[in-house]
Structure 1
Amino acid sequence: MTAIRAEFPLLETCVYLNSNSTGAVPRAAQAVLTDYWQTLRTWRDDVWQGWHEGLDRYADGLAAFIGAPPGSVVTDANLSTLLARIASCFDYRAPRNRIVTTDREFPTIPFVWRAASRYGAHLDEVGDGGPRIDQDALEERIDERTLLVCVPHASFSSGATVDLARLVKHAHDAGALVVVDAFQSVGIMPLDVTALGVDFVLGGSHKWMCGVGTAFLYVRPDLAPTLRPAATGWQAGDRALTFQPSTGFAPGAQRFAGGTPYPLTSLISQIGLDLLAGVGIDAIRKHSLACTDRILARAGAAGIPVVSPVEPHRRGGVVCLDVPDGEAVKRRLAARDMICSWRGYLRIGPHIYNTLDEVDRFMDALEDECR
C-alpha cells in the first residue's frame, strides 16, 4: 500500500475519496507530458508510428483488463462519442425499435438515445426516481420489441449495481443486444466481458482507472463484422493508415474509430492501467469493500442515512449518504482538505491508494460537519 500511495502526489495534499468522480493520476504522467512537449518542439511526422503503437497498446491493455481479446477495444475522447457510434449502427424499424434503460444512468445515456428518436428509436426508461435499480422491473420491460438494453454496471448516483450475467441472458433470450456503461465499475470491480457474453461495454480512464480524458468501447468480436456505424471517420476504414481510400470498415472494434486520434491521454492513462493491472482487480475489489464497509459502519453509528446498497454484491465502489444540505457540506469538507463529491447525495469513493485511517479521518470530519 505504501508503494502504491507514493505514486500519487495528490494524496500528499488531502484525504482524497473522490475517485468515482476523478481519480488520482500517477506522478509518472509528468514524464509523459515532458516527452510530449519535446516531440511537439522538434516535430517530425514519423512520431505517428510510435503514437499509434501507444494507442494500440493501451486499447489492447484495456481489453486484457476486462477479459477481452486484442482488437476488441477502441478508444476515443469520451463515452458520448462512442455511444453515438453504437446508436448509428441501427435503423430502428418497428416493431423492434425500443431501447430499454434505467433512470439511474448518467444523463448522457438517455440524451443520446432520445436523439436517435428522429430515426425511430423509442426510449423506455425504467425506475421510480429512487436510488436502487429494480432489476425485476427492468427485465419485465424487455420483450420482442426491444432492440437494445442499455444499463450501468454501477450507478453514478447511488453505487447500485446490476447483475450483468442475469441481465445479459434475459436480454439475449428476447433477441436484444446489451450495452453496458461500466464507467463507474471498471477499475474498481471485476468485469469479464467474454464470460458475460455482453455485446458492448463502454468505460473510461479518468475515474477508477487513474488516467485522463480517454473513453473506450468494447464490441463483442463475433458481432463487430455485422455492424456499420454511420457516425464514423477515416480511421475506421480498412486502409486508413495507407492514406488510400478505404473500401470498407476495419476489422474488430477499430471500425468504431473516428478521425485523427489524440494520443496524449492514452499515453498518460497507460501508466494508471499498468499500476492497476499490477495490483490485480480482485485485490482492488477486496480493499474497496473493506473501505466502503467502514464507511457504512461509521454512517450507521452516526445515524447518517445510507442511500447505496449495503450488500457487498450489490454495491460498486462508492457509498452515497443522504446528508442535509449536502452540497454545502461537501464544500466545507473540501475546505478541510477532505475531498468527496455531491450528485444529489454525498458520494464517497475510496480506491486502492486510500487507507482505512483516511476513511476514519474523513468520517470524523463529516460527523463534525453534520453536527
Structure 2
Amino acid sequence: MALLDNAEIRNHFPATGNMLYLDAAHQTPLSTPVRAQLDAFYDQAQNTAGPKAGWLARIEEVRAQLARLLGVGADEIAFTKNTSEGINIAAHGLGWKPGDNMVMLKSEHPNNAYAWLSQRSAGLEVRQIPEDKKWADAETFAPYVDGNTRAIALSHVMFHSGQRNDVESIVELARSVGAEVVLDAMQSVGVLPVDAGALGVSALSAGSHKGLLIPQGLGFLYTAVGTDVLAPTYVGTAGVANARTDLVAGPEAVELRPNAHRFEIGNFNLPAIHALGGALDLIESVGMPAIAGHLLSLGDRLIEHLDRLGIDLVGPRERERRSHIYVLALTDAAWPLYLTEAGVRLSPVRGGLRVSFGVYNNAADVDRLAEILERGLRTGRTATAA
C-alpha cells in the first residue's frame, strides 16, 4: 500500500512542526478540526449557557458517525469515560457464577487485567496465560478453556508490542465452549479498520484519545447482546426505557433499554463528544483503509532501517500481525534521554522503545528517526542494540 500524501493533514497537527512526534499509542496531539469543535462548544456554553436540545442532538449525530466507523448500529454504542469503564461493565455484567473462569494473556494491559482480577473475591477464577508466539490466536487459548470458561478477554492490538491478535479465531474458540469475548480495542480503533459486528465479540471497549484523535476523557462500549448476557451494574435515567418525562421515578418495574444505551447513566462528556465529531470528520475524509495502509507502510520503512542498523523489533514483522506500534529492542537507560534531547517524543515500554505512528506522520519522520538512532549508535552516546 502506498503512503498518503499527507502534507495537508500534517498542517492540522501543529505539534508535528515542534517535535518528532512518534507517540500515538500514548495519545495523539490536538488537531485544528478537533480544536475548532471544542472552541465552538465552549463559545455556545459561554454565550448562551448551551442549547440543551442541540447538544443532545449532537450526541446522537456523533454516535451515528462512530457507529459507521465500526460498521454497527448507533443503538449498539454506549458512551463511557474510557476503555477501563467499558471493560469493567463487561467484567461485572456477564452472568458468571462462582466456579466459572475467564482467560487472558499475562501480558495484558493492567486496565484490562484489574477489571477481571477484582472479581476473584466473588468466586471467578482468572487464568492468566503465557503467549506462545508473537501474537495470540485460538491455539494460544485452547489449552486453558473448558466448559466453565465464561469469558476470554484480550486486546486487539497490544500496547507493549504492537502485535495484532487473531480475534476471529479466538471468537470461534470461545463460541465452541459457550464463552463470551471482551475486546480492548484502544490501540486499534482509528488505526485499523475495525468491523465490530463482523468480529463477533460480545463487547468491545475503547477510549478516544489515541486513534480517534481527541483529548482524554471519552470512551465507548459496543455490544449487540441483550441483558440476558450483559447487564448493567449501574442504572440511571439514560438507561431506562420507561423513564417518565416528568422525571418522577414511580413504583412501576424498571425497564432497561434493550440496546447498549442501557449502560449510559447520563451527564455526557459534551465537549469531548463535540471534539470526536471533528475527529471523525477528518478520519472519514481520509478513509480507514488509507489510514491503515499508510501506517503499515511507515512500519515497512522503519523495519528496513532497523534491519540496516542491526536493531531488533520486539513485535511481529508480518504485516497482517502488525499495527502502528513498533517496539525497538533498545533497553539501555540512556536511550530515552538521548532521544528526548534530539527532539523525539516516544514511550519506553516493557521490551524497549515504542515508536507509534499517527496519520500525521510521514516517510521523512521515519528517516529522521533512523538518522538519530544511527548517530546514537555511532557516537556511543548510548549502548548498542539489545
Secondary structure of 1:231's match? coil
Between the aligned partners of 1:177 and 1:67, the Cα distance in structure 2 is 20
1:264 is matched with which residue?
Answer: 271
1:103 is matched with which residue?
Answer: 106
1:209 is matched with which residue?
Answer: 212
Letter in 1 for 2:374: E
In the alignment, which of 302, 308, 327 is matched to residue 320 of structure 1? 327
Q: 1:174 to 1:363 in 2, by over 3 A?
A: same
- Which runs of structure 1 show a deviation greater than 6 angstroms over 4 or more consecutive aligned residues? none
Q: Is the 8 A contact 1:87 1:113 kept in 2?
A: yes
Between the aligned partners of 1:193 and 1:33, the Cα distance in structure 2 is 28
Between the aligned partners of 2:263 and 2:193, the Cα distance in structure 1 is 25
Q: Is the 8 A contact 2:95 2:229 kept in 1?
A: no
Q: 1:286 to 1:249 in 2, by over 3 A?
A: same
1:302 is matched with which residue?
Answer: 309
Q: Is the 8 A contact 2:20 2:343 kept in 1?
A: yes
Q: Percent identity?
A: 26
Letter in 2 for 1:305: D
Q: Is the 8 A contact 1:92 1:119 kept in 2?
A: no
Which aligned pairs between 1:212-227 and structure 2 lie closer than 5 A? 212-213=215-216, 214-220=218-224, 222-223=225-226, 226-227=229-230
1:339 is matched with which residue?
Answer: 345
Between the aligned partners of 1:343 and 1:239, the Cα distance in structure 2 is 48
Which aligned pairs between 1:233-252 and structure 2 lie closer than 5 A? 233-239=236-242, 242=245, 243-245=247-249, 247-252=254-259
Between the aligned partners of 1:332 and 1:226, the Cα distance in structure 2 is 51
TM-score normalized by the length of structure 2: 0.89
Q: Does 1:361 align with 2:362?
A: no
Q: 1:268 to 1:99 in 2, by over 3 A?
A: same
User: Which runs of 5 or more residues in structure 2 are unaligned?
Assistant: 1-5, 379-386
Letter in 1 for 2:14: P
TM-score normalized by the length of structure 1: 0.92
Between the aligned partners of 2:90 and 2:244, the Cα distance in structure 1 is 23
Of 167-176 and 266-275, more deviation after overlay is shown by 266-275
Between the aligned partners of 2:47 and 2:244, the Cα distance in structure 1 is 23
Q: 1:331 to 1:263 in 2, by over 3 A?
A: farther
RMSD: 2.1
User: Which runs of 5 or more residues in structure 1 are unaligned?
Assistant: none
Which aligned pairs between 1:62-141 and structure 2 lie closer than 5 A? 62-95=66-99, 97-127=100-130, 132-133=135-136, 135-141=138-144
Secondary structure of 2:115's match? helix
| 1:238 to partner: Cα distance | 1.8
Letter in 2 for 1:203: A
Q: 1:18 to 1:240 in 2, by over 3 A?
A: farther
2:34 is matched with which residue?
Answer: 29
| 1:185 to partner: Cα distance | 0.9
Secondary structure of 1:88's match? helix
| 1:330 to partner: Cα distance | 2.4
Q: Is the 8 A contact 2:150 2:178 kept in 1?
A: yes
Secondary structure of 1:105's match? coil
Q: What are the superposed Cα offsets for residues 73-94 of structure 1, whole Å, 9 maximum, x if unpaired? A: 1112111222222222135324
| 1:256 to partner: Cα distance | 1.2
Q: Is the 8 A contact 2:104 2:154 kept in 1?
A: yes
Between the aligned partners of 2:133 and 2:110, the Cα distance in structure 1 is 15
